[in-house]
Chain A
């Protein structure tokens, strides 16, 4: 198969590809449409940016230059996204038939999670239908109850605390500790709240027939309220981005529900420890060393997701900080051992954080600057602007629609925008934490069922909404700026309000749990 997307597109369009892989032929229609709209979006976007650049550089103002910069960066992200995600790779739900009975070690790291949660997980782990398997409960909390529970369920209990070992490197240190005390050829890592399906190993182990395969990452599922208000399900990532990563051998390990090959880890010296959590960095390292990773796009475990905005902030902040530390201090463009497509795929995640954290605030600020300062290079060119930007936007929407067939791209986009304070802070903070100096790791699910409304989290959003509601009216009434310019920018303001209001309303509303997915019942809380 050609690596050139254009020749691939041409061949695919004519139906001349061999279509050997699972669902490759079935996905052809979507793929072609996605590729077509991606190309269209890029062409229209380029035309728009070229035009805007010419107009702005005739009479550049501060806000115009900022605006152009933000648009260029967004376009760049779109370009990377379009180039990366149109081609997806699927696997059969049953997996491959195992070539041999690999001995598997199951690591359940925990550190102070509620006993009920651990019990539920361990009970499910005990129900996994595979042999030979050995379960290790890696308890950094050193809890006797957990130890008792583990022993009662036939699991091996290991605790650095009880053995008097230092608790460095948090989860990755704990996993490395487990690695040193176990012998299994394959290692399944499950978070303490992740309840596995009984057939998890029977469906995954078969992939290790492939010699250079380092890990298989399964799709993650969560106990979520109705409507998934914080988009913890993240279908765009799990149903599109990871599939495309699989296509480019750039699968990212999510740290749980992942089956590693011991040999690959040992070649690397264990799980990587320089970043805060081990998952992304370990898979990044493994792939850069020529190993392969596979994404198995079916959920084989289900766990807890943060239910409050503060929890979401904490979790995403950690992810973003991890990723941006990689971006700043171990950038995929400079990472030896990666091919171009892998570099691009890793870059995509980083760029998305960058755009959310830095570019979205710029988009928020620009209309406000216009209301205050009143000059814009685009004044008088509104019709042209709307024609070009409208076409570009329409093409983008169509592109997303076909790129992310299963995920709710709009919701993902909104979440990306709404989390701008977190991503912005994490991006800036990553600059101050080079390798060798890392911030503390915080366990997410210590109090998974605590309900609190943390209104302070919404302060930036409410502030931005208030400014966008009041400034244009003020500017209009006091005659600071031409009405035409205000109306023009008010469309942006309306869009920003629309984007941010969703999160505010989500926080206001009490989450509704369907009885099926209510974690309290399952974890016995």
Chain B
């Protein structure tokens, strides 16, 4: 041990150092390098171009030695190299704060500022430095170069160069200064410097030439001409010089001198265009156009510039040769000359020739180039009007109108022009302006009203105009027009009022119009009345009859509609009496059949309508397959219109073989796709297609849809991206489907129908197709348009309920006030939503005498139960006694008791079963009884039977899901076999979302077990324990376990475990021998190192329920033991003189002996347990087991599942134990249980043991996330023989109080604390004992639990203590 301690003292610092080194290295791999080394490395890397690494190292170097400005400057320039000026600036600033004269940093800072866009700041910085150090040549040079880089800072650059020149007087500096001055056009300042240069180098022609140029640029042409003269005197043949001299003379106004120079050049270069042009200009300037044209003529021949052509044409014009001039302009235009002069002159010339189209085209060109200004606009407008291009004319007249806006003729003309172009707004504007001038013109006013009614935003104005006309004269047609406009403008209330006030028309045309308006308004009854009136006048009006039949259909009076339709069949030529002849009638029949929900009839009519496309066929098709085959043969059919296709498709939606027969679904899809190609916002088609898409039998059909649906650009990048998004969510097939549905929904959202009638019809269609969400939206819209409509409100509530939109439904119900029926419904809804206080509040609103009061009370009891307020629930149930059927009352009571944890619940369920054994209530009660007993397999079967009778019972389904969840195979550790705390609340309330039957791994059947290796999902859950006790026994346990169910009946667990125990014991035996002179002492010292290894494979089965009361479970364990004992024995003799025992004499007679002993054994163990329910509250279990001494009696160390009872490994033998236990438990009341056991054990070494355990378990606190339990108990173990090798005192009596506490913090691990304080009596002595367990239960991954824990046990009687540290895992599939 001393050796180990010393090692520990060495290891601790070493581990600490290792950790520090690792952390430091992790933080900075170069932490060990010095600043200088880092800086050097950074420089080398920078030279190699590895600036990124260099930067990193330089940064570290600078961090190491922040006072070293050299490192800082280098780092800053590296940042600049990496184009990171902000960081560079920071570094340079720090460097400058350390050393204000660090010019490198200053330069760098200026560079950084420039890169950051703050060039002015950089210059200010340099200026500031140079104010302090005005003679610093290096910085002056840098500043000058820096400033010279930007054109905007030339002045500063010049200033710096001037200062530098004053310091240095170097010609190079002067040269740069001169260049800058010239570039900055500061010729005045440049002149003396240039003169200085010319004076310094008089033979330098270049200097003189520059001087001449400077004079020229400074517009001192005389001086320039003079210097040029001097220069020409030196080099007369220099053409360039002569050209410049000519330019100077020209500028100086010396035309003749310039002419002479140019003539020399013209002659010398034989008519070079450059000089010819200059010469022509000079001739033109002197007024000699003929000479000019003559000089220009040769130039025009050879691909001349457009300007030259125009100039030439103009010169010809000036010489009055128009024909040639026109030719020249045309040539210029064809050569691409688009000058204003060319275009306008050409337009004028064509107009002059009465070629208006051509002229208008040139005016177009002029207009495009915005050349039509002033009088040119008039010219152009006239030309346009001649060319019958009103729009252009209007555009051109615009400026004129702006100049004279009140001109009536112009207004009317412009209004007409706009009307021709269907520019309603502008036409209305000009008409209005006209009517201001002439208000009595009714014809123009009606025209204005019609124009205004074309645009939605001006319909109000149109209504006003109609009203103005109607004030003067009452006209029913006009009133109906106005009503139609009101409806169009969605002023439903006004339209309704107007329509009501409108007298019934006498004229059939107007009467029909009136009926249609009523239908539009959604006032079906009025529409029906009008149609009936019309039909009384014109009984043979077929269209009216049809429309009336439709109204009847909308009113839900399908049989009457059919009657009307039947009358229409009569008398049609060539048609049998029982068959409608035309498509309209067929359509109406389909509508009627659908309204009556007679799907086969609707499909029959739909097939007939579909076949009407093929008039050449003498009979209708037998079925849809044949009808579709007709489509493929021969010429394309005449086709159905949009409405007809819609009705056929709608009828097909209800075909029984829709999902099986691809032809039907494809036909329906084809029809609606055709509709959508006509109008992609056709809501009925969109709804039908949305219904059809998920029912398409093949993926290929879906893919085809993508290409056929209008508006989707298949394979475009947007499409690919959108599809990728949806694919990402749902996979390929689901993604595509979802995408298409999304597109359809978007189409519907883009354009909504506006009339309430249409919305109602669409809502009906949506409900018919099961899309309650869409139905709800349509109804919402309709209700917004007609807020007071009760029929709509009722429909809306129904749709909300269908959609399970309890919130929306509750809102509607709230509006209905305190009506008991509505309140009861609301209470139901609150219960669905889990708003239990809401249920109670709703029940309060119902008067006690009301017939629905008992039902309300039952709801309240349920709410209380679900709220876990069980006493209140029981109280409520008491009030219900005798007011509702006894079964319901009992069922509710039993559920409350079950929730309370009262085992009496099972008895109440039994009572229900006994009363009506074959009823559904009995089946449910049976299932719940099994559930309350924790018999999951039987409960599962019972629920399945109950659900056969009521497959849609959501409550039963939920309960079945709960059972399934409980049956999820769980691979549990020995230490923590079940989860404490509550799972996430949403999982508790909606288990079906979290546990799906098909996801239950290994939970389906034994057959699926065979697939395990193939799936590669063998799950092992290791747990590891280390323990050490005061007997120097220490060791560890490693365990792997897996679990599953066989056919949902038998749970199985398979585990492999390995243990190792070690014990190193030092013992000493000594005896004395008295001799005359001394006492001799003999010692025998024994050092033994004992080790036992144990491996086991355990298979446990059960519990399996047999009958209703018996439970069987068993376990079989195969174990192997490998034991080894190493002993070293040595003897010593000492002599102690009688006089002085403090100085013993060592005789030195040692004897050393070594022993080794090995033993291997294999054993088979197991257990069989039989449990039974003696009464609802009482259970008993009889267990036979065969164990070894390493299996600890669970009551001795109740929480030490991994317990260790062996005290002396050397002496302990592999001893088997046959044990019989009888355990019983009884519940006094919920939360207070008694448990007791009596056991006898027979050891293979002839020892025996009797154990008695009695304990009370009181749950002081029981909450979903927290539990506190106290357990006073007494335990007695009496052994026949005392065996020191394993834990067997003569008798062991323990009395104490246990505490079990766990608390789950929200989304945090559960804290588990268990403790027991005991008084222990052992071989006559009494003393205290303590157990303590502190553990955490942590669920880092869903369903995967980690349990780190520490267990400590201390008993003072034998001074025994044990410490165990472990980590275990658990997984629930």
Binding site for B on A (CB under 8 A): 120, 123-124, 127, 195-198, 226-227, 301-302, 379-380, 382-383, 469, 472-473, 476-477, 479, 482-484, 486-487, 490-491, 493-495, 497-498, 501-502, 505-506, 508-509, 512, 515-516, 522
- Inter-chain contact A487/B20, CB cutoff 8 Å: yes
- Inter-chain contact A484/B23, CB cutoff 8 Å: no
- Inter-chain contact A498/B20, CB cutoff 8 Å: no
The answer to whether A487 and B13 touch (CB under 8 A), given A124-B1142, A476-B20, A516-B1146, is no
Cα–Cα distance between A123 and B1136 once the two chains are bound (Å): 14
From residue B1265, how far is it (CB to closest CB) to chain A in Å?
34
**Which residue in A196, A379, A472 is a CB contact (below 8 Å) of B20?**
A472
From residue A58, how far is it (CB to closest CB) to chain B in Å?
12
**Which residue in B12, B27, B1134, B1140 is a CB contact (below 8 Å) of A497?**
B12
- Inter-chain contact B16/A501, CB cutoff 8 Å: no
From residue B9, how far is it (CB to closest CB) to chain A in Å?
5
Chain B residues near A493: list those with CB within 8 A. Answer: 16
- Inter-chain contact A484/B16, CB cutoff 8 Å: no
Query: A123-B1139, A197-B1140 provided; 10 other pairs, C-beta below 8 A?
Result: A196-B1142, A302-B1143, A380-B36, A473-B23, A482-B63, A487-B31, A494-B13, A498-B10, A501-B8, A515-B1083
Cα–Cα distance between A226 and B5 once the two chains are bound (Å): 14
Chain B residues near A515: list those with CB within 8 A. Answer: 1068, 1070, 1081, 1083, 1134
From residue A493, how far is it (CB to closest CB) to chain B in Å?
7
- Inter-chain contact B1139/A127, CB cutoff 8 Å: yes
B1332 in contact (CB, < 8 A):
no
From residue B631, how far is it (CB to closest CB) to chain A in Å?
76
From residue B384, how far is it (CB to closest CB) to chain A in Å?
79
Interface residues of B in 1076-1110 (CB under 8 A from A): 1081, 1083
B14 in contact (CB, < 8 A):
yes
Interface centre among B5, B10, B1137 (most CB of A within 10 A): B5
Cα–Cα distance between A124 and B1139 once the two chains are bound (Å): 6
Interface centre among B9, B23, B1081, B1146 (most CB of A within 10 A): B9
Cα–Cα distance between A382 and B64 once the two chains are bound (Å): 13
The answer to whether A505 and B24 touch (CB under 8 A), given A120-B1142, A495-B13, A516-B1134, is no
Cα–Cα distance between A495 and B13 once the two chains are bound (Å): 7
Chain B residues near A490: list those with CB within 8 A. Answer: 16-17, 20-21
Chain B residue, CB-CB nearest to A229: B2
From residue A120, how far is it (CB to closest CB) to chain B in Å?
7
Chain B residue, CB-CB nearest to A496: B13
- Inter-chain contact B13/A497, CB cutoff 8 Å: yes
Chain A residues near B17: list those with CB within 8 A. Answer: 490-491, 494
B138 in contact (CB, < 8 A):
no
The answer to whether A502 and B9 touch (CB under 8 A), given A494-B16, A515-B1068, A522-B1141, is yes
- Inter-chain contact A483/B13, CB cutoff 8 Å: no
The answer to whether A380 and B24 touch (CB under 8 A), given A490-B16, A498-B9, is no
From residue B644, how far is it (CB to closest CB) to chain A in Å?
77
Cα–Cα distance between A508 and B12 once the two chains are bound (Å): 15
Chain A residue, CB-CB nearest to B36: A380
- Inter-chain contact B14/A302, CB cutoff 8 Å: no
Cα–Cα distance between A123 and B13 once the two chains are bound (Å): 50
Chain B residues near A482: list those with CB within 8 A. Answer: 31, 63-64
From residue B1077, how far is it (CB to closest CB) to chain A in Å?
12
The answer to whether A484 and B64 touch (CB under 8 A), given A490-B17, A501-B8, A516-B1144, is yes
**Which residue in B8, B21, B64, B1143 is a CB contact (below 8 Å) of A487?**
B21
Show 7 residue pairs from A and B whose CB-CB distance is below 8 angstroms, ordered by the A residue.
Answer: A195-B1142, A196-B1140, A197-B1142, A379-B64, A502-B9, A509-B2, A515-B1134
Cα–Cα distance between A508 and B63 once the two chains are bound (Å): 45
Chain B residues near A486: list those with CB within 8 A. Answer: 20, 24
Chain A residues near B20: list those with CB within 8 A. Answer: 472-473, 476, 486-487, 490
Chain A residues near B2: list those with CB within 8 A. Answer: 226-227, 509, 512
Chain A residues near B302: list those with CB within 8 A. Answer: none
Chain A residues near B10: list those with CB within 8 A. Answer: 498
Chain B residue, CB-CB nearest to A477: B23
- Inter-chain contact A509/B21, CB cutoff 8 Å: no
B291 in contact (CB, < 8 A):
no
Give the number of residues in B that approach A within 8 Å (Cβ atoms).
41
From residue B1156, how far is it (CB to closest CB) to chain A in Å?
25
Chain A residue, CB-CB nearest to B21: A487
- Inter-chain contact B27/A483, CB cutoff 8 Å: yes
Binding site for A on B (CB under 8 A): 1-2, 5-6, 8-10, 12-14, 16-17, 19-21, 23-24, 27-28, 31-36, 63-65, 1068, 1070, 1081, 1083, 1134, 1137, 1139-1144, 1146
Chain B residues near A226: list those with CB within 8 A. Answer: 2
- Inter-chain contact A487/B1146, CB cutoff 8 Å: no
Cα–Cα distance between A127 and B1077 once the two chains are bound (Å): 13
**Which residue in A123, A483, A497, A509 is a CB contact (below 8 Å) of B31?**
A483
Chain B residues near A473: list those with CB within 8 A. Answer: 19-20, 23
Chain B residues near A483: list those with CB within 8 A. Answer: 23-24, 27-28, 31
Chain B residues near A195: list those with CB within 8 A. Answer: 1140-1143
From residue A72, how far is it (CB to closest CB) to chain B in Å?
26
From residue A482, how far is it (CB to closest CB) to chain B in Å?
7
- Inter-chain contact B34/A380, CB cutoff 8 Å: yes
Chain B residues near A120: list those with CB within 8 A. Answer: 1141-1142
Chain B residues near A506: list those with CB within 8 A. Answer: 5
Chain A residue, CB-CB nearest to B1144: A516
Cα–Cα distance between A484 and B13 once the two chains are bound (Å): 18
Cα–Cα distance between A120 and B27 once the two chains are bound (Å): 65
Chain B residues near A491: list those with CB within 8 A. Answer: 17
Cα–Cα distance between A13 and B9 once the two chains are bound (Å): 41
4 shortest interchain CB distances as A-B pairs: A127-B1139, A195-B1142, A483-B31, A494-B13
Cα–Cα distance between A28 and B386 once the two chains are bound (Å): 139
Chain B residues near A124: list those with CB within 8 A. Answer: 1139-1142
- Inter-chain contact B35/A380, CB cutoff 8 Å: yes
**Which residue in B65, B1081, B1083, B1140 is a CB contact (below 8 Å) of A380?**
B65
Chain A residue, CB-CB nearest to B13: A494
From residue A262, how far is it (CB to closest CB) to chain B in Å?
26
The answer to whether A505 and B1140 touch (CB under 8 A), given A487-B31, A497-B12, is no
The answer to whether A484 and B12 touch (CB under 8 A), given A509-B5, A516-B1144, is no
Chain A residue, CB-CB nearest to B20: A490
Chain B residues near A227: list those with CB within 8 A. Answer: 2
Cα–Cα distance between A491 and B16 once the two chains are bound (Å): 9
Chain A residues near B1081: list those with CB within 8 A. Answer: 515
From residue B1031, how far is it (CB to closest CB) to chain A in Å?
14
From residue B314, how far is it (CB to closest CB) to chain A in Å?
82
From residue A82, how far is it (CB to closest CB) to chain B in Å?
28
From residue A214, how far is it (CB to closest CB) to chain B in Å?
27
From residue A492, how far is it (CB to closest CB) to chain B in Å?
11
Chain B residue, CB-CB nearest to A465: B12
Chain A residues near B31: list those with CB within 8 A. Answer: 482-484, 487
From residue A293, how far is it (CB to closest CB) to chain B in Å?
25
The answer to whether A487 and B32 touch (CB under 8 A), given A124-B1142, A498-B10, A501-B8, is yes
Cα–Cα distance between A186 and B1262 once the two chains are bound (Å): 84
The answer to whether A476 and B1068 touch (CB under 8 A), given A195-B1142, A197-B1143, A487-B32, is no
From residue B21, how far is it (CB to closest CB) to chain A in Å?
6
Cα–Cα distance between A301 and B1083 once the two chains are bound (Å): 25
**Which residue in A198, A380, A476, A512 is a CB contact (below 8 Å) of B23?**
A476
Cα–Cα distance between A473 and B64 once the two chains are bound (Å): 19
From residue B58, how far is it (CB to closest CB) to chain A in Å?
16
Chain B residue, CB-CB nearest to A379: B64
Chain B residue, CB-CB nearest to A197: B1143
From residue B688, how far is it (CB to closest CB) to chain A in Å?
64
Chain B residues near A502: list those with CB within 8 A. Answer: 6, 9
Cα–Cα distance between A506 and B63 once the two chains are bound (Å): 44
Chain B residues near A497: list those with CB within 8 A. Answer: 12-13, 16
Chain B residues near A123: list those with CB within 8 A. Answer: 1139
From residue A411, how far is it (CB to closest CB) to chain B in Å?
11
Chain B residues near A380: list those with CB within 8 A. Answer: 34-36, 64-65
